[in-house]
Structure 1
Amino acid sequence: MTEQTCIELQAVSHSFECGAEKIHLFDDVSLKLHRDCVTSIVGSSGAGKSSLLSLAAGLESPTSGDVIFTKEGVSVTPEEYRKHIGFIFQQFHLLPEMDALSNLALPLRLKGVSQADEKAADWLANIGLQDRAHHKPSQLSGGEQQRIAIARAFISEPDYIFADEPTGNLDVRTGAMISDLMLDCAQETGCGLIIVTHSRVLAEKATHCFELVNRGLEVLS
């Protein structure tokens, strides 16, 4: 029976050329990403974590192997699937000229969603920043900016969200708060959350935890 919505990596390998040298990141990696689950991937710098994330998000094609995207039981193209995913990055990527409310409402406005500002205001309240609605990013702390970036990723109700080192720029205490916020949002919305991180503490909070090591993927939990 075909799963209704999932992303499946089948024996994917990935490499790139650096001058005359060919760099192999990983070989024959197979992984199934389920909606309603949190998946974390850890590994040393240069192991290929971000590249694996890009493959799973349909932003890159593997050197070999297949990435299969299934939406409501139907196989779809990476281009189609990208309409149903969101991203959280180490850098917050908020537009500096817009206030918090407008940054949060922007994805909805671009999709022509009615009452975008009202929905953005609800999300600001959910993350405890309703009193910062009209502050621009330069007037917000790093933790506050990342909370808005997280809400922005979830506000469009995607099937999956891909988080690349979401706590990398934050101190330990703020990082722990941000981690809990992401996990709470994923649970409340039923969104699949895939996290690439150096933080073992964050990684171990996931439903499934993997490590990229020796050019392969090992199950940690």
Structure 2
Amino acid sequence: MQDKIELDNVSHHFDTGHERIELFHGLSCVIRADTTLAIVGPSGAGKSSLLSIAAGLEKPVGGAVRFTIDGAEVDALMMRASSGFIFQQFHLMPELDAIGNLALPLRLKGRRDAFDIAASWLEKVGLKDRAQHRPHQLSGGEQQRIAVARAFVTGPRFIFADEPTGNLDMRTSDVVAGLMFDCARETGCGLVIVTHSSTLAKRADATLMLENGKMRAAA
């Protein structure tokens, strides 16, 4: 059975000091591995919250989320352990060089070949010659390429990316986007992206529009 995420009648809101903000209500969909999905919509629609719920980082206030890995239903903790994450901010460890940042998640999993795997991914993203550079010595595009590689380095089943090109210029955005989609298709990993970029969304196999608390397939 294919790895998948099932959202069943999911609703979410948050409370401020003065009011309740309803983000969405009664959303249902199935997100499968081996596919790429873009989630688009206006600011404040709840796209990032939906991504967090799908990734098992946040619980919805209503409905159910089911995660299936290797044909078995797993909990949110196992889902997170089987996922990689890419954010608008790069979140690299400033005290580690590029190869150290890539090796870290592998070392945390006890992999003795962490640096060998990290080196192969550095080469894959075209940054072999930046292995000993720390984040402050890298451009924004180079840092995000490291962040992309770090998300894939442990062999995840799903990658969740929240505005991954939001801090990049148009040319660099195109390079990083191409890298993400190429890596997802080469590894058979599911890729779910929240984006404001229609250009980026068009690269995905499918696009969901989240607007006014509802979700629909976008053309």
Out of 47-56 and 113-122, give the one that drifted further: 113-122
Among residues 172, 183, 201, which one is paired with 1:174 in the alignment? 172
Q: Which runs of 5+ in 1 are unaligned?
A: none
Alignment of 1:1-221 (within 5 A): 3-221=1-219
> Where does structure 2 lack aligned partners over 5 or more consecutive residues?
none
Give the count of matched residue pairs: 219
Distance 1:147 1:39 in 2: 20
- Displacement of 1:130: 0.5
* CA RMSD between the two structures: 0.8
Whole-angstrom CA distance in 1 between matches of 2:202 and 2:8: 24
Contact 2:67 2:74 (C-alpha < 8 Å) held by counterparts: yes
| Runs of 4+ deviating beyond 4 Å | none
**How far apart are residue 86 of structure 1 and its match?**
0.8
Amino acid at match of 2:20: K
Q: Distance in 1 between matches of 2:187 and 2:69?
A: 17
Contact 2:2 2:33 in 1 (8 A): no
Deviation readout 1:123-167 (Å, 9 max, x if unpaired): 111111100000000000000000000000000000001000000
C-alpha separation in 2, matches of 1:124 and 1:83: 22
C-alpha distance in 1 between matches for 2:75 and 2:101? 29
Letter in 2 for 1:52: L
Q: In structure 2, what residue type is equivalent to 1:170?
A: L
TM-score using structure 1 length: 0.97
Q: Confirm or deny: 8 A CA contact 2:159 2:189 kept in the other structure.
A: yes
1:4 is paired with a residue whose SS is coil
Cα drift, residue 20 of structure 1: 2.9
Quick check: 1:29–1:217 contact (8 Å CA) kept in 2?
yes
Q: CA deviation at 1:83?
A: 1.0
TM-score, length-normalised on structure 2?
A: 0.98
Does the CA-based 8 Å contact 1:4-1:74 persist in structure 2?
Answer: no
Shift in Å at residue 14 of structure 1? 0.4
